[in-house]
Structure formats: C-alpha cells, structure tokens
Structure 1
Amino acid sequence: MITALVGNPNTGKTSLFNHLTGSYEYVGNWSGVTVEKKVGRLKEIKGDLIDLPGVYSLYPFSKDESVVIQFFLNEKFENIINIVDASQLERNLQLTVQLLEFGSPVVIGLNMIDVAERRGIHIDSNILSQKLGLPVVPITARNGRGCHELTQQLTSLPDQEDKDPNIPYGDVIEKGIAKIIELIRDEDVQLPVRWLALQVLDGNPDARSYIEQWVDKDRLKPVIDSVEGEVKATTSFPSASRLLFEKRRIWIDQIIQESMKTQEGQKKNWTERIDKIVTNRWLGIPIFLAFMYLMFTVTFDWIGTPLSDWLDAFISGPLSSWIDEGLKAVGATSFIQALVTDGIVAGVGGVLVFVPQIFVLFLFISFLEDSGYMARAALVMDRVLEKVGLNGKAFIPMVIGFGCNVPGIMAARTIEQPKERLLTVLLTPLMSCSARLSIYALFVGAFFHKHQAIIVFSLYVMGIVVALVLAKIFSKVLMKNQPSMFVIELPPYRVPHALTLWRSTWDKGKGFVRKAGTFIFGGSVAIWLLSYFGPGGIAVDLDHSFLAIIGGWFVPILAPLGFGMWQAGAALITGFLAKEVVVSTMGIIYHTPDSTALQGLLSHYFTPLSAYSFLVFVLLYIPCVATVAAIRNESGSWKWTVFSIVYALAIAYLLSLIVYYGGKLILGI
C-alpha cells in the first residue's frame, strides 16, 4: 500500500511523517521545506508513506509545487493522508476539495487543535467528518498524539470514488467539463477524467500538458477559451479559475458554519503580541541582526570555542600519541608514519576540532527555525529584498546556505518567478557556509581573539550585503524584471522540543562530519603527497615540493591582497574541492593538527589586516565543486554556472583589495 501525505505548508506534515514512519526529515517553518518527495515505511501497518511538498493547491506555482501535481498525474498510490491546520481550516480545505475530486480514499489528520482553541476556535471533528464524507482524526503531529488512530484509519478507508463533493460550479463549467471529457473519452487515460477536466479549466499547465498527450492542443484550446469567454460574459468572475475558487470557498464556508464555533472577544494571543515587535517596520531588521550577533557570541565566546579547545587538545595530544605508538608497534615505515601523522591526522584532525563550534551554530539556527521566528525574519527581509529584485522567499535559501550552500541552492525551487529563482541560485553561494566557519575559527582565534564574534558577524553580514547589491545590479542589467509574488506562512511561536532540536542540528551537521571522513580524508592524502614529492624526488623540502610550485603560480596575483605567499595560494586552490580543505592544507603545510600551534605559526606569515583580507577572499571567491554542480543542476545552464564562478572571483578580489589597502590607509601603514 502506498499512501500520499499532502497538506499546506506549515501544517506539521513532515513531523507527522516522522511519527508515522520512525524516520526523520528536516523540519522548518516556511513554505516548501520538503523540496522533493520523501518515502518512508509505515511503522504500524505494511506500506509506504510519501511525504510531498507543502502546497496550497494543486496548481504548480513553483518547481517545488510541480512535484505534487506530477505525482498525482504520473504515480500510482492507494490513498491519501491530508493534514489540515485546525486554526486555518478555510484555507486548508481548498486543497482538501481538490483531493476529494481526485477520488482516491482520503483521511484527514486535523492538526494544531490546541492552537485553534487558544484562538477561540472549536471544531467538532465528527460533524466535519460527516459533512466531508471521510474520516477526520484529531492529532498533534509534534508529539505523535492521535497518530495511531490515524494509521488505523488507513486499513479501513472506504472507497470514495462515488463521494465527489458535487460542488455546484454552474452550467458554464459543467459544459466545459463535459466537452473535455468527450475529447478524451476513447483514450487510455488512467486518471479521474472529471478531476482532470477541472484542473485544466483551473489553468493548471501540467494537467493541460498531460491531456495534450492524447488531444491536440488545437482541439483543447477552443474549449478552454470558450469557457473563459462565457465565464467573463455571464458571471462577475474574471476567469474560470477565480470562479472555481469562489464556488469551493462557498461550499467550504457552509461546512465550517456547521462544524466550527468561534468565541468572540478572545485575548490577543502571544504570537500576535510578539509579531508586533519582531516584524515591526523599524525594529524587525535590528532584532534579526541582534539574533545573529547573539548566535556568533554563543558559538565563539561562550560555548563553541571552549569545546573546540578541549577537542583540539585531545586530538593533538593523546590521540596523536596513541596513533604514533600504534604505528611504531606495527612496524610502519617512515613514509606511512609521515602520511598518517602529517597528512591524515593534521588534515582531518585540523578540521574536526571545529565541529563543536559548527554544531553550536546549527543548534542556534535550528532553535530559531523550530520556534517560528525564521519565517518572521523572511517577512522582515522581504521589504529589503523587494527593492533589489527579490522577495522574502529568497531569504530562506540564503539562511539554509549558512549551513551548506548546496541545499540552499536547491531550496530556491520554492520560488515561483524564474528570474527570482535564478538570482537566488546565483547569489546563495555568497552566504557563509559552515565549511567557511572552520577557516574563520582558525584565523579569528589567531588574530582577533578578543573580538571573534564581531569579526565573524561582519563576514556573514558582508556576504548578505554583497548579495543584495549584486541582486540589484543583476536584476537591472542581466535579467528582465518580472512581477514578484511573496506568500509565506507565519506559524505560531512554539517552544522547540529537545529531541527535535537535536535531530535538526544533527541533520545539518552530519554532512560536515561525513565530509571529514571522505572528501577531506582523500584531499588530505593528495595534498600531503604533493607536499612530500617534488621535482627533486621524495621527502623534499616543503618549499621545493609540487604543492609549493602550484601555490607559487598565484603569488603575484595574491600579493596585492596582503597574502602573497605560496601557502595561501595552495590552500585557496584546494578550497575549490571543499572549503574545509583550506584548513586541512594549512595543517599539512605547517605539520600540525594542533589548531593552537597552527594559529601561532600563522601569526608569522599574516598580519591582522592581511588575515581579514584573506577571510574576505575566502567568503566570496569561487564556490566549492559541489556547489558549482548544484548551480549547474538548478540553473540548467553552463553559461550561468561559469558566470557564477567568474563574478564571485572578481568580487572577492576587488573587496579584498579594498579591505587591505583601505585598512592600510586607515591604520597609516
């Protein structure tokens, strides 16, 4: 048995998926967090559950929403779980109506009853079930309450093919439905033809393309045009789509009147009170920046750095000693000993010491997401983004990009307008990902020990500001302006569950740890071999190794930026593989997994000004290879992919140059 899990964004759909299947998928508080369908095995009964992206209707406004209609058009499944937000019943039932018209058995999971009751909304699930003609099970998706009853309903769902809601759409729509059905009557269409006809008249382009497999568009278009013309001529509605929406709304209102009671004069809830402050026109952005600064203070000054120092002491001390003794005990050759200690331990260990800081940062971001604040931040940022050719939805991929640019770029699928989606794909790599954080931690610990949070905060803000400026330039010069659409769900504020926070933090951070065991491991071995071999043979002096030669090619280019040394050039080149490898390369070059010792060595080659110039360059220069692949995949164009590499390199060089020489001018050097 295959069951589709469908619902509006922010209804708790993915939390329900986790409880029903026992697996974990990333949970957020904005539209479209589930970019592609996820499949899990139901725990209590035999069958698969498919978690589809959150949508308001079956009309594909974005690539994300197109996943849902394509699933209905092309995939086989037996029944549907429709999760509904009890506090937003009228809006949620618009999707429910379209699911009922499809004809597959449906069970409703009525979620957020507690939120509804706090707002003075009381729903009688039995009456709602009777009026809709399908089972309605009250649930609490966050803690799993009611999930057992919901699962049991799947085993006894009645056939609902004869339970079409029979909404009175009017003669014009019914005639149009009949004509479309007539066109495909003799074809082997495996879908409910009335539902398909309704989707076509609703303007659904994917449904229309589906029918055009059998019916020539020259035969279908006149039917659609005729219905549109009659709707405009005989009704007060501007289009068939609007008529369908209003007729469904009237039908829904009748059901709500009988199944829902609202108490007037309820106290204003906490969500509304807090929103008056955090989404305030003047206070919203300062509050967001304050949250960011607090996040970096916690990460570097309060918790993250002490934990990283402890791990650093363990890796460079006891662990390194145990590995040395073990290698000697098994009779390892000097080459193997050098490879393991100076290559693998120095390279991989030099990155792993920053895992605590990265996990603390992700914990903070997860808290902001699960509490409901992150959607408000997108709403606040919409006022700024709109002025540069984007909208608030672009902010969400950028925030995800703070963890890793690859899922951030993929999250741009939720943006409806092609221009804004492409802009977001091109600009998200400017967001400072967790891989860069390890480089920041290394350098701020060496040169800005008393001001670590401020320096890192400045880099994150710089990435955002550069992205906004470039968005304005690109939208005016490279891309034709299109009308913007910004719709985002503002969930109620919640106290995040400890288990949910841990799962979300681990989901974000595990990729960093995984890369340490694969990508960074392999890169460390390759980099060490380049440092071990040279034109003169093996075990050459480091300054005469192949790594020094390759890094030396870029010294004349990097010298004006304040770090004209082959070590910096070599580290930046390897950073194309993965930004963490910059730290691995530094550890291998200076033969130490001890970040404290490495920071001391770096102070002989960099000044605080050249170090900050280096960090600015790392922030903005070419994305890593995985991010480049994601840009190519999402943009569908090598032209835009190459452009993203070239512009990033140019901007990085220009700003590093300004920082270095501007700093020298200010400091009087």
Structure 2
Amino acid sequence: MRLSELPTGEKAYILKVHGSGAFRKRLLEMGFVRGEEVKSILNAPLKDPIKYRIMGYEVSLRRSEAVMIEISMLEEDVLSFPAGQTEKEEPDVLAEHMQPEYNRRQRRRRGHFHHDSSHRFIRVALVGNPNSGKTSLFNLASGAHEHVGNYGGVTVDSKIGRFYHKDYTIELVDLPGTYSLSAYTPEERYVRNYLVKEQPDMVINVVGASVLERNLYLTTELMDMGVPMVIALNMYDELEQSGSTFDYLALSRMIGIPIVPTVAKRGQGIPELLDEVIKKYEGEDKREQARIPYGRVLERAIELMEREFTNVDISWLHLPLRYLCIKLLEGDKEIEEMIGGLSKRDEIFACRDKERVYIEKLLREDAESAFANARYGFIEGALKETLIEKSNIHNKTRILDAIVTNKYIGFPIFFLFMWIMFEATFRLGEYPMQGIEWLVDTTGNFIRSNMANGPLKDLLVEGIIGGVGGVIVFLPNIVILYLFIAFMEDSGYMARAAFIMDKVMHKMGLHGKSFIPLLMGFGCNVPAILSTRTIESRNSRMITMLIVPFMSCSARLPVYLLFAGTFFSRYAGLVLLGLYATGILLAVLSARLFRRFLFKEEDTPFVMELPPYRLPTFKSVVIHMWDRSYQYLKKIGGPILIASIIIWFLGYFPQNPSLAEDRVAEHQEQSYIGQIGKCIEPVMRPLGFDWKISVSLLSGMAAKEIVISTMGVLYTGDDSNQASLQQRLLAETHADGTPVFTPLVVLGFLLFVLIYFPCIATIAAIKEESGSWKWALFSIFYSTGLAWMVAFLVHWIGNLWI
C-alpha cells in the first residue's frame, strides 16, 4: 500500500521510501524512515497536496510524491519487513561508542576550544531547522530587528549582530534554516560551507522543543562534524503547555552537549544560553561530545573507508575524517567533488562503492536510508529515556485548518482576507493620510507666505515639499499593509496559503513554495526574490524570480492610492484588489510561458512543513511594521528626495523671462525635462500618455514612489493655485480643454505602473540570485514591453467601446 492511498484520519507505518535524488533524501531527513507512524490529516481544497502528521509535526506532500512511500496499516509488518541489522539502538548502547580520544583528536585538528583567554571575542553561528525560532533568538539576543515569520525560509542569507555579554563581544550569525547538512538545497550548502570555511568559535543549535525528534536529526549531523555547540531548546513553553515532560539535563549528559531551555519570543533563557556558550568557549565544560553509533554494519564500512585515507592529507578540507566517510557512503555529491582532487581518489571511490553494495546486501536498503534510519534510531532511543509525551493533538491547529483549508471555503476565505487587507489599507489609512496631507500643505503655504521669491523658495515649495510631501502622505497606508502581512506570516497562515495554492502553482509548473515569495512580493520584491533560495528546483526558482516583480510591492501602493482614490473614489478598494489580481494573473501566464519556452519541465517536489498556528506577539508585529516603515522613510529621505530635486532642476531650467507669466504651462514644456518628455512622448502617445506622464514613468524606474514625487513637481501649483496634488490632477487639461486623465488613461497608467521595469534594487537582486546579467536585462525588457502592450490594448479597446 502507498501513502497516497491512506484514507483521511487513518494512520499507518512506513516500510520504505522509493525513488532517488534530492526529494528522497529530503523525505528521509524529515522523518519518513522505516517504522515511523504517519497519519493522513486532510486534503487541500483542490484535493492536492495532502497534509500528514509524522513525528509530532505536520508536513504536506503531493499525491504524486506520497505514492513513492510504501506503508502498512499493521505495525507487525514493519518488524517482518526485510531490513537486516538496523534495529534502533537504546541510549545505554551510547556509552560503548563514546571515544574521548577520537573527539580530542578531532578537536585539536579543527582548532576548536584552544583559545587565548585574553581574547574576548566569540563568533557564534545559529543553526537550526526552518521555523525553529532562530531569527527570534537572534533578534532578542543581539537587539537586531530581522524579519520573523511563522513559516520556513524567512532567513535566506546570514545576518550578523554584535553585542556584549559578561565582558565578551559576541558576534552572532543567523544562518538559513536547514533540515540537514547535505548538499541538496542552496540553504544546506550555504550552512555547511559556512561551518567548514568560516569555522565559528561556537554553534548554537536551535531545536524546536515541540518537534524534538525531527529537529534533533540536524543535531546528529552537527555532532558528526565535531563542531563545538550548545543546544537552545527553543519554544519550551509549547512543550510544557502540551503536558509533556522532558529531562533535558539527562539528554545533555548522554550526548555531552549543554542544553538550555529558551522562549526566544519573550527573551526567556537567553542570558543562561549565552553563559553556557562562554563556559564552553573557555573550556569550563569538560564533557566530550558523544559519537553517533551507527550499528555494526555501518560502523564497519566507516572504519574501512577511514583506512583508505591513511597517509592522505585532508587538513585543507577542514572536515573530520569520520564525517567525510559517512557523507561519501551516503553519496554526497559535493563531498565527492572534494575527494576527486586527491591522489588516492580511485582507491577511495572503489572502496566506497564496494561498501555501499555490502550495506545494501546486508541491510536490504541503500546506505542513504540506513544512515538516516540509524540517526533516528539514536534519537528515538535517547528520547525514550528522557521524554514523556502527552497526546499532542494540536486541537487549535486542527480546528483552524479544518476551516482555512476547507475545500469549499478555503479559497473564499483567502480572497476575503485579501480584500479586507486592501480595503483596510485604503479606508483606515485615509484618516491619518489626511492629517499628514494637511501638515504638508500648511508647511508649503507657510513658506510661500513668508519667504522672498526666488529659486530657493521654488526649490523648497515645488521640489522638496511638492515631491517628497506627495509620497510621505502614504506612510499610514504602508504601515497598515505591513500589519496584515506581518499577521499572515507570524500566525502561520502564510504556509497554509502555500498549501491551498500548490495545485494552482503546480499547473503553472511551479512549486507550492513559490507562493510564499510571491506573497512576500506584496511587501517588497527584493526580499521576495532572495527567499526563492528555499525552492530546491533551479528552474522553478528562476521562474519564480522572474515573475515576483508582477506582485504589487508597497512602493507601487502610493501610485495606486493616489489615482484610485482620486478618480475611482467609490470603488477604490475594488480597483486596488483588481490591480493585485491582474499582477497575479500576469505572473501565472508568464510562468506558463517561461516554463514552455525558457525552462524545461522538471520534478518540483512539494515537501513543506506546516507550523502550528501561533498568536503573533504585539512586539513582533510592531517591530515588523516599524522596520518596513523605517525603510520607507529612509527611501523618502534618500533617493526620493534626490530625485525630487533633480526633477525640479530639470523642470525649472533653463529660465525664460518672456514666459514668466505662464511658467507652469509653457515654461515646463521648454525646460530640460519637457524636452526629455517630448522625446519619449511619441512612444507613449498611443497609450494616451502625454509628456508629463511619460517623464513620471521614466523617473519611476529608480523607485516607484518617485512617480508620485515627480508628479508632485510637474503638476505643481503657484501662488494662486495651492490645491492638493489630487485636485491638480483632476483639473489637468490638454490645450483644447479636454481632461488629460480620463478613466481609460488612468486605468492604462495604473496597469503600466503595475507591470513595467522593476526598480533598480529588484534588478540587482535578480542579477545576484540568477548569477547573470542576462536574466536581469530580460526582466527589464520583458516587463516593460508587456506593460506597453497591455496599456495599449486597454486604450485601444476602450476607445472602441466607449
């Protein structure tokens, strides 16, 4: 029987994971090993993927992938299933496998623990599973304000923070979340390469207390690497609330590693954790880390592999010999490439191949499965002695999932939430927006009334206040938008959105995980593009990267709010939702196009942990909102201010005294910016755009907010016309008296802003993540060409019908 056939609500036991490659490896790492109990929880609204519970946590698999897992409804079948000598070992076997002399030898070779006590600097790396709370711990310990979300893949690069603790300067490095230290995904390679090349003084292994068995798998790999570490038993409050009891001190004695309970979101246990780090660093903790016992067959293979390295210099690899041999036996491609440069590589690979055959013959399973099984056997044996687990049903999560992922109301709830978000962004933000607008107008009028005429007065009123003031009024809307995004991320709903959308994403040729970067793109495209690193498939990663710019980031929001609120005030919320929906539709169509013509179809497995729902803390939401608002204010005080001054300068000069009476109209046309606008106007005229609109769009290539600041300068008032920018846009007419901004022109303009040229920062992120300028340039030309085509069709078809 296969896992895909398991009825909802039923449980079974895993016999074997079929297939090969990265997907199979990921399943083994996440606990899908022989003998584990697995339960089918629910189906997504479109019947795919399926949510399963294993090892106390929830994970999603597509049916096409669940069919690769062989199961039995009877536990007795696991015992009779041919498996050779890989029975799970009890922790009392641990003592005979401890080899202090081996550990000391590895410690000396790696250069750990032997420090000059006068050196008061410690570099500490945070390593843990996705959603284990690493970034929360990083923020509380270092005082940094990194983004925290209740789903995997928040940290997509290392973050560094420095702080002082007990006369020590501690540099804390937050590494991406990873389930193992294999080399199958970008984050796994990044973390392992960092540990090998940078060799931090200490590692804090962040372990989620509510998912101990799965989280400790990474701990066993760190133990194999011989890195000095302290374990942060994070989210310990959730374990206590479940009624379970855990003798972590006993486990600490067994494995020879300090364990400190923490609740990172509240700062509990962090001082004690740092104390243990310093004690370990100073050598006060004399315990030796245990060595993972792999059983007779695997230990024999490791020993024979180690003999092949006799008289071979591997010091330049900065890895323990035992770890190298284990990874070679597992078939780790990156380790194979490293060994490929050694003089005895042929003998080493020949021995490895022979031992892999030997393992499979005796154990009736491949070496990769055998090592994963042995690690989980070690973990289960240790937890059997130290953990008394109560029924962990997660009633709150089960009830909420039954509602938000329901096949009938799952999608309506998602779209309702989106509509509420956009409506609240517009409606609630209108009141503080009016207050800021009044303050901007008052400041402008004060300067007009009390300052002598001249270029400086014009610069202040028309350039700085007109340009920057036109953008800063939308700060409340940005804050409200990020409030909703922060709630979705911190509560765990973001992962559910990916779950229910996987079937749709799969039809696009993408992974369900692609939905998370796309949803993050509503906030800012740059971190959304960086977060595509969590997608294992390169082709899916590239397609996601190229369609992220179609997600309406917060930089476009001021443009939407200005024009939707001015010209479609009664239906502003629906217009806003329509623009976001259009971006999603164009992303879908573009993804299908890219999959067909640019990137070949490939396996895009959907394996994603579904974290339990958590009520976001007030502090985390405020930090999230403040950080994003601060970035917005920095942009206003930096590039937007500079751009406003440049636009004002180009519109103010050259001066023509004969046109002083009518400078707002004819003078601007003859200014430098007017000349630029006239040059590009023929290209934009078929869309109904005049030269001012064209120049605004041109300036918006740097950052979309600059579109508004440019308009604030171009559509400026004089001493007799001090109306707001909205009123000036409504009053703008052509020479023949017809309005410039007709509904068709406004609609075409909004769609053009939605689609065209991603901002400079986004282009740089695409170049960095794709590793080539080719795809960055492709994104520029494709999006701008598509924007022109869509705006042209709106203008042309609209004129035919209206």
TM-score range, shorter chain: over 0.9
Provide the residue aligned with 1:10 in structure 2: 131
**Is the counterpart of residue 471 in structure 1 residue 591 in structure 2?**
yes
Residue-by-residue CA offset, 1:121-179 (whole Å, 9 max, x unaligned): 43222232233222222211110112222122112223565532333362453245414
Aligned pairs for 1:145-160 (under 5 A) are 145-157=268-280, 158=285
**Is the counterpart of residue 114 in structure 1 residue 237 in structure 2?**
yes
Does structure 1 conserve the Cα–Cα contact (< 8 Å) formed by 2:419 and 2:573?
yes
Residue-by-residue CA offset, 1:240-287 (whole Å, 9 max, x unaligned): 2222111101111111211112234x6651011101221233432222
Give the match's secondary structure for 1:109.
Answer: strand
| Cα separation, 2, equivalents of 1:658 and 1:181 | 68
Provide the residue aligned with 1:286 in structure 2: 412
Unaligned stretches of 5+ in structure 1? Answer: none
Provide the residue aligned with 1:555 in structure 2: 681
Does structure 2 conserve the Cα–Cα contact (< 8 Å) formed by 1:65 and 1:414?
no
2:779 to 625, 630, 644: 644
Percent identity, aligned pairs only, is 38
| Cα separation, 1, equivalents of 2:496 and 2:795 | 37
| Shift in alpha-carbon separation, 1:335–1:58, aligned structure 2, 3 A | same
Provide the residue aligned with 1:409 in structure 2: 529
**Is the counterpart of residue 607 in structure 1 residue 742 in structure 2?**
yes
| Shift in alpha-carbon separation, 1:93–1:186, aligned structure 2, 3 A | closer
Q: Name the stretch that deviates more: 335-344 or 92-101.
A: 335-344
Provide the residue aligned with 1:489 in structure 2: 609
| Cα separation, 2, equivalents of 1:346 and 1:182 | 75
CA shift at 1:661, angstroms? Answer: 3.7
Give the match's secondary structure for 1:481.
Answer: coil
Does structure 1 conserve the Cα–Cα contact (< 8 Å) formed by 2:715 and 2:729?
no
**Is the counterpart of residue 575 in structure 1 residue 700 in structure 2?**
yes
More helix by share: 1
Aligned pairs for 1:514-663 (under 5 A) are 514-534=634-654, 541-561=667-687, 563-592=688-717, 594-601=724-731, 604-663=739-798
Provide the residue aligned with 1:320 in structure 2: 444
| Cα separation, 1, equivalents of 2:247 and 2:496 | 31
CA shift at 1:323, angstroms? Answer: 4.0
| Cα separation, 2, equivalents of 1:215 and 1:586 | 68
CA shift at 1:213, angstroms? Answer: 5.3
Aligned pairs for 1:394-433 (under 5 A) are 394-433=514-553
User: What one-letter code is carried by the residue in structure 1 that aligns with 2:139?
Assistant: N
Provide the residue aligned with 1:227 in structure 2: 355
Give the match's secondary structure for 2:125.
Answer: strand
Does structure 1 conserve the Cα–Cα contact (< 8 Å) formed by 2:293 and 2:378?
no
In our comparison, the structure showing a higher alpha carbon Rg is 2
**Is the counterpart of residue 248 in structure 1 residue 359 in structure 2?**
no
**Is the counterpart of residue 21 in structure 1 residue 21 in structure 2?**
no
Does structure 2 conserve the Cα–Cα contact (< 8 Å) formed by 1:181 and 1:197?
no
| Cα separation, 2, equivalents of 1:602 and 1:291 | 36
Q: Name the stretch that deviates more: 401-410 or 550-559.
A: 550-559
| Shift in alpha-carbon separation, 1:185–1:568, aligned structure 2, 3 A | same
| Cα separation, 2, equivalents of 1:250 and 1:634 | 38
Does structure 2 conserve the Cα–Cα contact (< 8 Å) formed by 1:315 and 1:594?
no
Residue-by-residue CA offset, 1:164-218 (whole Å, 9 max, x unaligned): 2333362453245414543744655543222233233333334444445555755
| Cα separation, 2, equivalents of 1:219 and 1:316 | 80
Provide the residue aligned with 2:469 in structure 1: 349
1:39 to 160, 172, 194: 160
| Cα separation, 1, equivalents of 2:711 and 2:226 | 62
TM normalised by structure 1 equals 0.93
Q: Name the stretch that deviates more: 612-621 or 586-595.
A: 586-595
1:174 to 273, 288, 302: 302
User: What one-letter code is carried by the residue in structure 1 that aligns with 2:573?
Assistant: A
Give the match's secondary structure for 2:165.
Answer: coil
Does structure 2 conserve the Cα–Cα contact (< 8 Å) formed by 1:320 and 1:341?
yes
Residue-by-residue CA offset, 1:485-537 (whole Å, 9 max, x unaligned): 22323222122111111111122232221111111111111111111125969
| Cα separation, 2, equivalents of 1:517 and 1:334 | 24
| Shift in alpha-carbon separation, 1:221–1:564, aligned structure 2, 3 A | same
Provide the residue aligned with 1:311 in structure 2: 436
Q: Name the stretch that deviates more: 397-406 or 342-351.
A: 397-406
CA shift at 1:313, angstroms? Answer: 1.0
| Shift in alpha-carbon separation, 1:286–1:661, aligned structure 2, 3 A | farther
| Cα separation, 2, equivalents of 1:564 and 1:296 | 27
Aligned pairs for 1:435-474 (under 5 A) are 435-474=555-594
CA shift at 1:662, angstroms? Answer: 3.9
Q: Name the stretch that deviates more: 551-560 or 159-168.
A: 159-168
| Cα separation, 2, equivalents of 1:30 and 1:223 | 42
User: What one-letter code is carried by the residue in structure 1 that aligns with 2:673?
Assistant: L
CA shift at 1:621, angstroms? Answer: 1.0
Does structure 1 conserve the Cα–Cα contact (< 8 Å) formed by 2:470 and 2:708?
yes
User: What one-letter code is carried by the residue in structure 2 that aligns with 1:546?
Assistant: Y
Provide the residue aligned with 2:478 in structure 1: 358
| Aligned residue pairs, count | 658
TM normalised by structure 2 equals 0.78
CA shift at 1:227, angstroms? Answer: 3.3
CA shift at 1:347, angstroms? Answer: 0.9
| Cα separation, 2, equivalents of 1:375 and 1:69 | 26
Does structure 1 conserve the Cα–Cα contact (< 8 Å) formed by 2:156 and 2:533?
yes
2:496 to 376, 383, 391: 376
Unaligned stretches of 5+ in structure 2? Answer: 1-121, 718-722, 734-738
Give the match's secondary structure for 1:54.
Answer: coil
Give the match's secondary structure for 1:53.
Answer: coil
User: What one-letter code is carried by the residue in structure 1 that aligns with 2:525?
Assistant: N
Provide the residue aligned with 2:23 in structure 1: none
Residue-by-residue CA offset, 1:357-406 (whole Å, 9 max, x unaligned): 11111111111111111111111121211111111211121122112211
Q: Name the stretch that deviates more: 354-363 or 61-70.
A: 61-70
Provide the residue aligned with 1:78 in structure 2: 201
| Cα separation, 2, equivalents of 1:202 and 1:326 | 78
| Cα separation, 2, equivalents of 1:310 and 1:53 | 42
| Shift in alpha-carbon separation, 1:474–1:100, aligned structure 2, 3 A | same
| Cα separation, 1, equivalents of 2:343 and 2:583 | 50
Provide the residue aligned with 2:44 in structure 1: none
| Cα separation, 2, equivalents of 1:484 and 1:140 | 35
Aligned pairs for 1:495-514 (under 5 A) are 495-514=615-634
CA shift at 1:484, angstroms? Answer: 0.6
Q: Give me the CA root mean square deviation.
A: 2.4
User: What one-letter code is carried by the residue in structure 1 that aligns with 2:700?
Assistant: G
Q: Name the stretch that deviates more: 197-206 or 213-222.
A: 213-222
| Cα separation, 2, equivalents of 1:411 and 1:346 | 36
CA shift at 1:663, angstroms? Answer: 3.8
Give the match's secondary structure for 1:32.
Answer: coil
CA shift at 1:352, angstroms? Answer: 0.8
Give the match's secondary structure for 1:451.
Answer: helix
| Cα separation, 1, equivalents of 2:412 and 2:311 | 59
Does structure 2 conserve the Cα–Cα contact (< 8 Å) formed by 1:103 and 1:160?
no
| Shift in alpha-carbon separation, 1:61–1:285, aligned structure 2, 3 A | farther
CA shift at 1:104, angstroms? Answer: 2.8
Does structure 2 conserve the Cα–Cα contact (< 8 Å) formed by 1:181 and 1:194?
no
Provide the residue aligned with 2:191 in structure 1: 68
